[in-house]
Structure 1
Amino acid sequence: MDPGEHTNMGKKYKEARSKIDRDKRYGLVEACELVKVVAPAKFDETVECAARLGVNPRHADQMIRSSVSLPHGTGKSVRVLVFAKGDRVNQAKDAGADFVGSDDIVAKIQEGWLDFDVAIATPDMMGLVGRLGRILGPRNLMPNPKVGTVTMDVKKAVTERKAGRIEFRTERTGIIHAPIGKVSFEAVKLQENLETFLRTLQRLKPATAKGKYFKSVSLSSTMGPGIRLDTNEVQSMVTAE
């Protein structure tokens, strides 16, 4: 790494941040255009949405965990692992799974191998996969029926993940982070992905959640500054028919 790279990135970050009015709350259209402009890195940065919701994740009925297919995908190549046996093995491979196996894959993971982004399992494999809880759980890689990664329909699950289906969950602070594309995406595609994600969060609003639901929403690229959205516009968009 160039010794001056950190300094250079600091200058680029400051320059990018100077283009954002920190007191302003941006509309969705303007924010999706601006996040592309202020991305400082030379590589194709990921654009992420962070939404702080009016929920208390310490209460089980207010913990949000789900998944959604973005209309334009994430722009990221996703490595999919499937735990399966019998006919499901060929179904997974035909759908484009990168790795398929059972006991052999479990042993490999126990030895430290983790070169995959999503793990899918058929229900009958969960007894075996459960042994990996301490390894996969903290990395958010454990198959889970709530997000559709424990299923007999492995073909559909693999196809959706390859096409850009994302998983998300509330953190302890009530914030949910999710990738919605790349800075190379057209602004309108980022906007459509963002709207799909936010509408999904609205549909998942717990009945016990009180007060303002979208407390804050922001967009940022991997190396770029945050852009705060107008939560009133967000709320109007997600509740509009």
Structure 2
Amino acid sequence: MAKRGKKYQESIKLIDRHKYYEPVEAIELIQKTAKANFDETVELSVRLGVDPKHADQQVRGAVVLPHGTGKTRKVLVFAKGDKVKEAEDAGADYVGSDEYVEKIQKENWFDFDVVVATPDMMSVVGRLGRVLGPKGLMPNPKSGTVTFEVGKAVDEIKAGKVEYRVDKSSIINVPIGKVSFGTKKLRQNFATIMDAIIKAKPASAKGKYLKNVALSSTMGPGVKISSQRIIDALVDDEDK
């Protein structure tokens, strides 16, 4: 294992590796331990008690974070007819059809973060399955990226919509903002995404659902969070 830098070693001293922190405590610690000379992204990592090999235990969805992610996302839309103008008016960065399929296939072009497609364009987009799929860029109805409401889809993505999806290791990794957001905004983004993940629990999932929850910054160490305190905090918020 590669030796960590001096800043990382200083940061890790602030964290009790055996403690499970309350959400707000963890967020405050992340801000204290983020010592890079750029605005680090705060990443949420959740290991779930599901078996993603089973179709009925896939956990996937999308949610608009109240304060966005702090990153401007480039959107490619596959559409035709009046949906082209609708996507452009909403602020899509690229809108088209076969010309973008060709550009991706021949030029290995990936200057975009999200792909949206109208249902009638999926036969065109399907030709890109082998290259978009492994990168997690394939449009999907569950994440709201296959839709005739392209204007709404682009608006939500630009406003801070994030997609969450369990991987082969039963883990979801998703950004919840930047260190510069401060505790309140990060806490609200964290609560929004955790609420969505909890509500997405498959009926067939047995035993403990939230196995491990942790936050980390781009260059900083991870901070473990008590899953029970997350649930308690979400209930408290609903009561207010």
Tell me the equivalent position of 1:3.
none
Give the distance between the partners of 1:119 and 1:60, measured in 2 at CA: 23
Q: TM-score, normalised by structure 2?
A: 0.95
Which of the residues 223, 226, 236 maps onto 1:230? 226
Matched, 1:155 2:116: no
Matched, 1:67 2:33: no
Q: TM-score, normalised by structure 1?
A: 0.95
1:52-201 to structure 2, matched below 5 A, reads: 52-111=47-106, 112-201=108-197
The 8 Å contact of residues 55 and 62 in structure 1, kept in 2 or not, is answered as yes
Identity of aligned residues (%): 58
Aligned pairs, number: 235
Q: Specify every segment of 5 or more residues in structure 1 that has no aligned partner in the other structure, as ranges.
A: 1-5
Tell me the equivalent position of 1:36.
31
* 1:160-204 Cα shifts (integer Å, max 9, x gaps): 000100011101111101100001101111001001101101110
Moved more, 228-237 or 172-181: 228-237
Matched, 1:22 2:17: yes
Deviation at 1:239, TM superposition (A): 5.0
The 8 Å contact of residues 202 and 238 in structure 1, kept in 2 or not, is answered as no
Deviation at 1:238, TM superposition (A): 4.0
Q: Specify every segment of 5 or more residues in structure 2 that has no aligned partner in the other structure, as ranges.
A: none
**Secondary structure of 1:82 counterpart:** strand
**Secondary structure of 2:110 counterpart:** coil
Tell me the equivalent position of 1:209.
205
The 8 Å contact of residues 214 and 235 in structure 1, kept in 2 or not, is answered as no
AA in 2 matched with 1:183: V
**Secondary structure of 1:58 counterpart:** coil
Deviation at 1:234, TM superposition (A): 1.4
Deviation at 1:231, TM superposition (A): 1.4
